[in-house]
Amino acid sequence: MIDYGIPDWTNPLAYGRISEVDMNRWRWEFLRRREEYQLAFDEALERQSEPISSPPDVSEEEIYLFYSQLRCWPFADPKSVAFELDLFYDPMQSNWHGAGPWWPKTGLLYGAFEDERSEFVSLTFDLSKPLRPQLDEAKLALEESYTWHFYDVERDCVRDVREPKRHPSKWLTYLRVIDGRNAGASWSEIFDVVLKPDRPTNQNGAQLARGVWERAQALTKDWPA
């Protein structure tokens, strides 16, 4: 069984400097632990008719130092869009050192078309014209898009749009719980090693660990935009 380069879940220091991890890296860490992604990557890799070489601007020394766990360099495959990626990235690799997956922030996107994903809209600005009138028009256009996108036909109203909740302070714990379970640890063991120091001893440790694992698994599939 491939371990996908997972750190020692019993030691939080094995996960590196968490303070330096940006949002794209966090999202990747959860995605690469998702079983559906691992299977999709393996199947896509088998479909490749030619060996996938590294880009010409990456030296052999860099590959050895930074990408030693790679089975191949990122490659294009139609199935990657299911994970909102333009390329498939090897889940064996944790830190891509700036060359890895990147998900653009939601908001205004340059372009003159609506995105294939129904929750995105693109707006175009003319740099040869004054900015303020264009911003005013863009605001009206975006408000209209929200109205159409979130309109509830049955209730004849626009649904409330709430910001997704993020809890990055919990994400290291989530990763360790996922990794512990993948390593074959019991719920009680995971509680004792990862969760117990921060919680009262009178709680049902196994039940609590399973609940944390379920929340962590949800992040591998539904990332808060």
What confidence score (pLDDT) does residue 136 get? 84
Over its C-alpha atoms, the chain yields an Rg (Å, rounded) of 22
- Which is it for the CA torsion 38, 42, 43, 48, positive or negative? positive
pLDDT at 76 over 60: yes
Q: How confident is the model at residue 117 (pLDDT cuts 50, 70, 90)?
A: very low
The two tokens of residue 100 are 């890895």
pLDDT at 4 over 80: no
155-169 pLDDT tens trace: 666 565 555 566 788
Q: How confident is the model at residue 82 (pLDDT cuts 50, 70, 90)?
A: very high
When pLDDT is averaged across residues 14-35 and rounded to a whole number, the result is 92
What confidence score (pLDDT) does residue 20 get? 86
- Computed over every residue of the chain, the mean pLDDT equals 81
Percent of residues in the chain assigned helix, strand, coil, to nearest 5: 45, 5, 50
In order of 24, 90, 171, the CA distances from 168 in angstroms are: 12, 24, 5
Percentage of the chain lying above the pLDDT 70 cut: 76
What confidence score (pLDDT) does residue 49 get? 76
When pLDDT is averaged across residues 103-116 and rounded to a whole number, the result is 45
Question: Which of 20-29, 30-39, 138-147, 190-199 comes out lowest in average pLDDT?
Answer: 138-147
Question: Which of 51-60, 102-111, 190-199, 211-220 comes out lowest in average pLDDT?
Answer: 102-111
- Which is it for the CA torsion 177, 181, 187, 193, positive or negative? negative
pTM given for the model = 0.71
CA separation for the pair 172, 88 (Å, rounded):
24
pLDDT at 107 over 90: no
Q: How confident is the model at residue 32 (pLDDT cuts 50, 70, 90)?
A: very high
Q: Report how far Cα 130 is from the mean position of its chain's Cα atoms.
A: 37
What is the domain partition of the chain in residue ranges? Answer: 12-102, 109-158, 165-225
pLDDT at 98 over 60: yes
